[in-house]
Amino acid sequence: MSIKLATSQPPAPSRRELRFGAAWPYSPAKEGTGPVRLRERYEHFIGGERRAPEGGVYYATVSPATEEPLAEVARGDEADVERAVHAARQAFEPWSRLPGLERGKYLFRIARAIQERARELAIVESMDGGKPIKESRDFDVPQAAQTFFYYAGWADKLTHAFHGRPVRPLGVAGQIIPWNFPLLMAAWKLAPALACGNTVVLKPAETTPLTALLLSEIIEAAELPPGVVNVVTGFGDAGAALVRHPGVDKVAFTGSTAVGKQIQKALAGTRRRLTLELGGKGAHLVFQDAPLDQAVEGVIQGIFFNQGHVCCAGSRLLVEESIADALLVKLKARIQTLNVGDPLDKNTDIGAINSKEQLERIQALVAAGEAEGAERYSAPLPVKERGYFFPPTVFTRVAQSSRLAQEEIFGPVLSVLTFRTESEAVEKANNTFYGLSAGIWTNKSARVFDLAGKLEAGVVWGNTYNQFDPSSPFGGYKESGFGREGGRQGLASYLHVG
Amino acid sequence: MTDGTAGNGVAERPMRLSVKKTWKMYIGGAFVRSESGHTLTTGAEAGGAAATGAQSQEVICRGSRKDVRDAVKAALGAQPSWRGKSAYLRGQILYRLAEVMESRREELEERLLRGGAEAKAATREVDTAIDRVVTFAGWSDKYQSLLASSNPVVGPHFGFSVPEPVGVVGIVAPSRPSLLGLVGAVCPVVVSGNTAVVLVSEADPITALTLAECFATSDFPGGVVNLLTGLGAELIEPLVRHKGVRALDLWGVEDERARQLEAFAADSVKRVTRRIYEEIDWYDAAASGLGFIEPFLETKTVWHPMGV
Amino acid sequence: MTTAAQEWSSPPVDRVMVEARAAALGCRSIKTDAKRVGLGLAISMMDLTTLEGADTQGKVLALCRKAIQPDVRRPSVGPVAAVCVYPSLVRVARAALAGSPVRVASVATAFPSGQSALEVKLEDTRRAVGDGAHEIDMVIDRGAFLSGELGRVADEIAQVKTVCGAAHLKVILETGELGSYDNIRRASDLAIAAGADFIKTSTGKIEPAATPASTLVMLEAIRDHFFRTGIRIGMKPAGGVRTSKQALHYLVLVKETLGDDWLTPELFRIGASTLLNDVLMQLAKLEGGAYEAAEYFTRD
């Protein structure tokens, strides 16, 4: 007796649907805000002191989940930037002359303090930015600590890093960071700059200043010399003032490609150093032989991590046509299990969209996609009276020429396209002016190594996605920016190498 | 008086006998006596500088061949898990060692003083030893990016080479400086995922055993670092000949003896590094460089096809 | 003639991702009501098991009473789904459980090794069913599976299924001996195709027994079968599930992989011997607010 199996082909599409949710709902599991003691008002951190804004203006930073103001924050202007750059300049000489080992020990202290205040930082990150507590707790904060730990260890090894070539720090670094990973981006910027002997003026994003300000408290408590790190909060005008300031020797920016281009133009001809980490339109390439269930997980992680507010988000799913239907069945089932809601609930998978402006931008692009004829599938969104939320959304029948496939949405929206051959997949993946990231899903590792060479992207993941490590360089090709953060290569962004 | 007063009702400080510590070896994460039951008195048989008076004489274990065997067994047992830990975690564990040493620095200084060091020199040695651990903690996730390579081979293959730990390393520790030398020899060996069996300085074993208490309280899994006391003349040979030991780090072994030991090492093709501790400037940054890590690494080269 | 290995092909499984997903589902925070309901579900899904060489009538009788009423101080708790015993004790269990909804499951087919002649395995099954077992937990011949005789393994399952008649068939893959997730997936597909009503991870005699990742791989096989045929196959992790936290982790795996329809003893079971008391302790803690101690619960 012999039994024939029908499993050699991936399962065919089916109307047989799984039901999720009602039988055993999770009870609310809200992270207590006990460890958090926010002040009513935060000043700039300049020259080791809390300094009121020259213009006397404060603005409220708002929780995107509740629309409640969390604290008042100084709104910086040119005069504040001037003072901060001055303080950084004053601090540069002694800081850069400090033995690398001693600079490193300051950074180790910061790393340890982040670990000690991890829970508080995670909660504030979720309150201020809207990301789920499980991500701020398990990703943002531990990675921030690890980043300081990692670059702390480089401070006394810089001569090794460039094979004996002489190195010296650049001077004052002006660093402008985005709202999607507020603390982690601060760590990515500060840790290598400080390890290399630079001093810093950091400008956090206007919607998410709080964890950078808490970090400035940690830095103060770690007894870093005054002026080595300065934090000026505020809006784009403060950032622009920092970029234009002639006392800034190096600008590091993470944010949109549009602003990145403005910065590059502003610095044109000045010989001031620049690194840009800009937008992306990352592609997953899923082949017929892929471990399909794990590919689905990777696609989910790739686009819905941090509400899709990730520059390297896998926002395009390129799937081999022969398995497209089977993949979509799984994807749609999986999306139903994503919990959208209160960022502070430990079971939330997708939190709040960072701001009203961003929510409107996502809504506009989604409407455009529908108008262009793409087919929309969204998971149901629990009714919320307040806050900015958007359901996990998948578009199928997306044309390569549509706005959905071309523009960075920076939200929980995935566009699905199909391909027939490997070369078509590569062509479609590369057919964008971005070049930050790509993911390859296949059971054939020879394909991973082959495509890794052919994809125009700064980071290529094989059978995984959205993996980060301070020891691993990150950055873009093409209009996704230049310069690398992380790893040995990340040091080069903050050194003159002879 | 049994009530602790001097009869006239005035309280008097009762006599109190101090509690003496038994110095044991550190094997497999536990403090153990020698299997042989034999002991040495520092400054007597050991002939070191420790004995400047009767009070400073201490009894230590006289490790045996079987203790060497037990220590190698512990080091082998600790191998898979230690090399399997993330580089970041190994770095954090080393950094924890620095934290523990900082909090016990007075004791470490005291030991160096008893060993004959001047006050200033003892302070400097402890400072540098702690900083040395910090430096090697930092190396844990960095030496790879300096020593690995992508190999531009001809043909449709992606080639790369990565460093890997050799395994169990037998260390004959530098006699001097007794703390900094020990730290400076052990950290670069274990940071990459090796585990170590160390014959500590005969001249100052107590400082090494004080450091062992730092290892024991700083998140190091048992067996990663094993410290044996005793007579080098008895212990080096079983260590050098043990087939489970993959590399040797011999400090201060003179040429005559080395000829014999290195010949033993050849029986299982051990990697031998032999250095003169007096020739090293332990206070120079060079002593915390890549060169200290590299001898205890293998290079693994991988070829992988590209294209389907 | 095509070889069996060519005939049986299953989708590949990526170890790193499947383990990460399984672990992530262990991080769900199950509090208050969800915990109470989840623990109640876990009890109702439990196959209370004794499979020792030293099993006796007395031992099985005690277990059966525990199955019907797990906690004398809280009569509303329970009963469990089934009692799982060796074939020779099926009659004892049936008698002890008469009148209760608790079912009798029996291991069979040369448990735990599966290394015996087919006729012996079938006779083993026939007797257990004849003695009144509602459910048969059979083991596959892992030696045959690993040596590539997949057709033989499938044939055995199919023939045991025939002998089972109305009794439900659970097929034990012994995932700890299969060596890879790819093999676990292949064995799952094979067992389902050959007629299993349930697939089950382990005998409990081999380490590792059930793990969240191996369970997830099996749940994915069940899911694909459902997408393909509309037929719902049951799942039973067994062995090594000792704590309430673990039990809830498995429930979360089912809930988020297969959904609501599988959150029933008809389609999900947990095989365990020591889990029950831990669940009872947690329930009592939820009720009373104070942490419990082991001696307040009967050891059976």
Shortest distance, CA C246 to any CA of chain A (angstroms): 16
Residue A95 in contact with partner chain B when CB distance is under 8 A: no
Q: Quick one: pLDDT band at residue B10, thresholds 50, 70, 90?
A: low
B10 falls within a domain = no
Angle at C241 between CA C169 and CA A20, to 5 degrees: 70
Count of residues making up chain C = 300
Q: How far apart are CA B156 and CA A450, in angstroms?
A: 9
Please provide residue A62's backbone torsions phi and psi, each rounded to the nearest 5 degrees.
-115, 145
Give per-residue pLDDT as tens, B67-114. Answer: 999 999 999 999 999 999 999 999 999 999 999 999 999 999 999 998
Residue A322 in contact with partner chain C when CB distance is under 8 A: no
C238 falls within a domain = yes
Shortest distance, CA C164 to any CA of chain A (angstroms): 17
Chains C and A touch (3+ CB pairs under 8 A): yes
What's the CATH number where B278 sits?
Answer: 3.40.605.10
Residue C121 among the catalytic residues: no
Q: pLDDT of chain A along its 498 residues, tens only? A: 344 444 444 444 446 899 997 899 999 999 999 999 999 999 999 999 999 999 999 999 999 999 999 999 999 999 999 999 999 999 999 999 999 999 999 999 999 999 999 999 999 999 999 999 999 999 999 999 999 999 999 999 999 999 889 999 999 999 999 999 999 999 999 999 999 999 999 999 999 999 999 999 999 999 999 999 999 999 999 999 999 999 999 999 999 999 999 999 999 999 999 999 999 999 999 999 999 999 999 999 999 999 999 999 999 999 999 999 999 999 999 999 999 999 999 999 999 999 999 999 999 999 999 999 999 999 988 888 899 999 999 999 999 999 999 999 999 999 999 999 999 999 999 999 999 999 999 999 999 999 999 999 999 999 999 999 999 999 999 999 999 999 999 999 999 998
B42 falls within a domain = no
| Sequence-ordered list of residues with C-beta below 8 angstroms from that of C35, at least 6 positions apart, any chain | A27, C248, C282, C286
Neighboring chains of B (3 or more beta-carbon pairs < 8 A) = A
Please give the residue of chain A at the shortest CA–CA distance from B159. Answer: A449
Residue A269 in contact with partner chain C when CB distance is under 8 A: no
B19 falls within a domain = no
Q: Which residues pair with B163 in a beta bridge?
A: B299
Q: What mean pLDDT is reported for chain B?
A: 92
C259: left (phi over 0), alpha (psi -120 to 50) or beta: left
Q: In the prediction, which pLDDT does A11 show? A: 47
Shortest distance, CA A252 to any CA of chain C (angstroms): 34
For residue B209, what are the domain limits? 73-305
C294 falls within a domain = no
Average pLDDT over residues C119-138: 97
Shortest distance, CA A470 to any CA of chain B (angstroms): 9
Are the Cβ atoms of A138 and C38 closer than 8 angstroms? no
B9 falls within a domain = no
Please give the residue of chain A at the shortest CA–CA distance from C30. Answer: A26
Strand B59-61 relative to strand B39-41, pairing: antiparallel
B20 falls within a domain = no
- Closest partner residue to A446 among B131, B289, B305, by Cβ? B305
B152 falls within a domain = yes
**Residue C44 neighbours by CB distance under 10 Å:** 18
Q: In the prediction, which pLDDT does C7 show? A: 58
Are the Cβ atoms of C29 and A26 closer than 8 angstroms? yes
Give per-residue pLDDT as tens, A230-285. Answer: 999 999 999 999 999 999 999 999 999 999 999 999 999 999 999 999 999 999 99
Q: In the prediction, which pLDDT does B137 show? A: 98
Q: In the prediction, which pLDDT does A301 show? A: 96
Residue A132 in contact with partner chain C when CB distance is under 8 A: no
- Asked whether residue C196 carries a pLDDT value surpassing 90, the answer given is yes
Q: In the prediction, which pLDDT does B7 show? A: 53
- Closest partner residue to C194 among A3, A27, A337, by Cβ? A3
Give per-residue pLDDT as tens, A234-246. Answer: 999 999 999 999 9
Average pLDDT over residues B18-32: 95
CB C111 within 8 A of CB C55: no
Q: How far apart are CA C120 and CA C136, in angstroms?
A: 15
- Asked whether residue B54 carries a pLDDT value surpassing 50, the answer given is no
What's the CATH number where C215 sits?
Answer: 3.20.20.70
Neighboring chains of A (3 or more beta-carbon pairs < 8 A) = B, C
Q: In the prediction, which pLDDT does C3 show? A: 47
| Active-site residue, selected from the candidate residues C66, C161, C170, C200 | C200
Residue A160 in contact with partner chain B when CB distance is under 8 A: yes
Q: Quick one: pLDDT band at residue B51, thresholds 50, 70, 90?
A: very low
Residue C137 among the catalytic residues: yes
Residue from A341, A326, A327 nearest A297 by CA: A327
Please give the residue of chain A at the shortest CA–CA distance from B160. Answer: A449
Q: A with C: how many residue pairs have Cβ under 8 Å apart? A: 124
Please give the residue of chain A at the shortest CA–CA distance from C154. Answer: A3
Supply the ipTM of this predicted assembly: 0.93
Q: Tell me the residues of chain A between 432 and 471 that have a Cβ less than 8 Å away from chain C.
A: 443, 463-464
- Choose between B188 and C9: higher pLDDT: B188
Are the Cβ atoms of C228 and A11 closer than 8 angstroms? yes
Identify all chain C residues contacting A333, using CB atoms and an 8 Å cutoff.
223, 259
C297 falls within a domain = no
Shortest distance, CA B102 to any CA of chain A (angstroms): 13
C295 falls within a domain = no
CB B247 within 8 A of CB B295: yes
% of chain B with per-residue pLDDT over 70: 92
Identify the DSSP state of A333: H
Q: Quick one: pLDDT band at residue B48, thresholds 50, 70, 90?
A: very low
Q: What mean pLDDT is reported for chain A?
A: 95
Q: Quick one: pLDDT band at residue B13, thresholds 50, 70, 90?
A: confident
Are the Cβ atoms of A20 and C9 closer than 8 angstroms? no
Give per-residue pLDDT as tens, A174-218. Answer: 999 999 999 999 999 999 999 999 999 999 999 999 999 999 999
Are the Cβ atoms of A4 and C7 closer than 8 angstroms? yes
Structure token pair of residue C180: 């890879």
CB C168 within 8 A of CB C134: yes
Are the Cβ atoms of C158 and A28 closer than 8 angstroms? no
| Active-site residue, selected from the candidate residues A31, A120, A125, A277 | A277
Average pLDDT over residues B267-294: 95
Residue A277 among the catalytic residues: yes
C231 falls within a domain = yes
Question: How many domains does one find in chain B?
Answer: 1
Q: In the prediction, which pLDDT does A14 show? A: 47
CB B232 within 8 A of CB B46: no
Q: In the prediction, which pLDDT does B106 show? A: 97
Strand (E) or helix (H) holding B255:
helix B255-266
- Closest partner residue to A2 among C9, C34, C155, by Cβ? C155
Q: In the prediction, which pLDDT does B50 show? A: 43
Are the Cβ atoms of B304 and A453 closer than 8 angstroms? no
B234 falls within a domain = yes
Q: How far apart are CA C256 and CA A325, in angstroms?
A: 21
Question: How many domains does one find in chain C?
Answer: 1
Q: How far apart are CA A211 and CA A131, in angstroms?
A: 13
**Residue A2 neighbours by CB distance under 10 Å:** 10
Residue from A170, A169, A168, A176 nearest A244 by CA: A176
C296 falls within a domain = no
Please give the residue of chain B at the shortest CA–CA distance from A142. Answer: B88
Name the H helices within chain C.
4-7, 15-25, 32-44, 57-68, 90-97, 118-130, 142-146, 150-164, 181-194, 212-229, 244-257, 275-288
A224: left (phi over 0), alpha (psi -120 to 50) or beta: beta
| Active-site residue, selected from the candidate residues C47, C236, C255, C300 | C236
B39 falls within a domain = no
C298 falls within a domain = no
For residue C163, what are the domain limits? 3-287
C51 falls within a domain = yes
Shortest distance, CA C194 to any CA of chain A (angstroms): 7
Are the Cβ atoms of A7 and C9 closer than 8 angstroms? yes
Q: In the prediction, which pLDDT does B9 show? A: 56
Burial class (CB in 10 A: 0-12, 13-18, 19+), A376: middle
